[in-house]
Structure formats: C-alpha cells, structure tokens
Amino acid sequence: MKKEKLKGYLLIVGIASIILFPIVYIISSKIQSEELNKIGIKSTAIVQKVERTRNVRTRTFSYFITLSYQDDNKKEYSETLSIDFSEYQKRSKGQEIEILYDKENPKNIEILDYRKFKNTEERILHYDDLIIFQKNKNPEFILDKLNQISYGWEIKGNDSTFFINKSRKSYLINKKDTIRFFTTVANYTDVENQTKRKGLSEYEKIEVGYANNPFSNFTVIKKDFSMKVYSKKKQEGEFTLRRYEQFDSKRKMWNVMSCTR
C-alpha cells in the first residue's frame, strides 16, 4: 500500500515537473532579458552562422544564430542563440548586429531589441505615417516621429529632406509634394501587407529613375536614366498613395511607398 502511494506521489511530482519546467524557464528568461535591458552593455557582433534544424517527430524547425563579439576588455567570444523565424529571415553571415551583454558574465547575451531598449514600435513605416508627415513637413517633427516608430533615424548630412536609418537599411525623402519611403527586399512582406491593408488596387505605369541609395559607396549615377514600372495606387482624400519597386544604380531593388499631396 505504501509503495503504491509512493508511486502515486512520484507520478504527480513527475507530471508537475513537466508542466512547471517550461513555465519556470520562460519566467526566468524574461527576468534575465529585462535585467539585460537595464544593465547590459551595448556592443556590435558579427554573424558567423545562421542555421535551422528540423524535428523529425514534430515536423517543426528550430532556428539558431552564432555571433562573435568582444567585451570592453577586447576579449573575444562566440555564442549561439535560439531565434524565431522572422529573425532567421533577415540575418546572414558577415552581417553586423547590435547586442547586449552582461558585464559580469559576457557569455550572457541577447540581440538588442529596441522595443524593449528604447520603447519603440520597431516596424516599417505605414501609409498613415506618410500622410501624417505630409500634414506636418517640419523636419524635427518627422525625425521625432520616425524614432518613435523605429530607433536609429537621422538626417543625412545637412539635407533636412533626407532621413536614413542605417540599421534598418531604409530611408525617407521628403520633397515638396511627395514623400517616398524606401526599404530593402527583406521587408517585402511587410510592405505588401501595408499595401493590402490600405487597399491599393488600381494599377498604373509610372516613370522612375535610379533610386538614390545612401548606403552605397558607388556614387556615379546616370541622371538621364529612366524606366517605366507598374505601381499600385489609391486615392485617399487629397492624397495619392503608391507602391512600386525601383532599382538603384547597382541594380539593387528597393520597395517604395509614397504619398503625394
């Protein structure tokens, strides 16, 4: 009888452990992340490897990234982190990435998430953002709003009509009647979702030149170059919203969202 009770107790303890372990792990990871965002040291890491493994039994994938970095004492480290699919999609070998590490234990790191670190939304621009910028074209106002959307926006040199975000490889050009937002193909799905959400469905052909890529050292641009591309558009009150693709002089494609008044 006592043996049966003992087996029963052990079974209950075993089941409780299976249920509680993931919960404890999640809570522990969250506390650790919050602590890193308070006291962690910001640094730049280099992506050494991005990989995925498949669980044959569950038919699901797990994603991992291996980063190399240095602490304040120039000591080198290499750590592998578990990441989600969206992070896996936008990372590649050799890419620079910002991280936070624990000064007391530099092996304790996480990829810097500005949503936690700077309380930003960390997203691409929406058409509603472009409309807001059309209504208030003051450069200081635009810059402040951009940095509430995603951290790292700055004015390019002395040109108060040109805004860039190096970490997100995106830029915004604010001309007299048109605001254009340029972002890389990595954000294609997000741009398409915004296009569908806003209901841009009317097609037209427009003439464009080369996109002005502020992240390239290649500065020779054929000013007389032009080509016709298909654009989706929608009229919303006094604003014309468009979405199309445009190449720069190195044949790199950019996703473009624009708002014309």
Instruction: Give the tens place of pLDDT for each residue, 99-117.
Output: 999 988 999 999 988 888 7
Domain with 239, as residue range(s), is: 127-260
Task: Give residue 163's pLDDT band: very low, low, confident or very high (50, 70, 90).
Answer: very high
Q: How big, in percent rounded to 5, are the helix, strand and coil portions of the chain?
A: 30, 35, 30
Does residue 147 sit in the same domain as residue 232? yes
Residue 145 belongs to a domain: yes
Q: At what angle do helices 127-135 and 139-149 cross, to 10 degrees?
A: 160
Query: What is the pLDDT at residue 4?
Result: 59
pLDDT for residue 13 = 53
Number of domains in the chain: 2
Give the range among 26-35, 119-128, 233-242 with minimum mean pLDDT. Answer: 26-35
Read off the tokens for 143: 């810059």
Quick count: other Cβ atoms within 10 Å of Cβ 151? 20
Residues 6+ apart with CB under 8 A from 184: 169, 170, 254, 255
Question: What pLDDT, on a 0 to 100 scale, did the predictor assign at position 161?
Answer: 96
Question: Is residue 71 one of the residues assigned to a domain?
Answer: yes
Q: Are 255 and 245 in contact (CB under 8 A)?
A: yes
pLDDT above 50: residue 180: yes
- Kindly state whether residue 19 falls inside one of the protein's structural domains: no
pTM for the full predicted model:
0.69
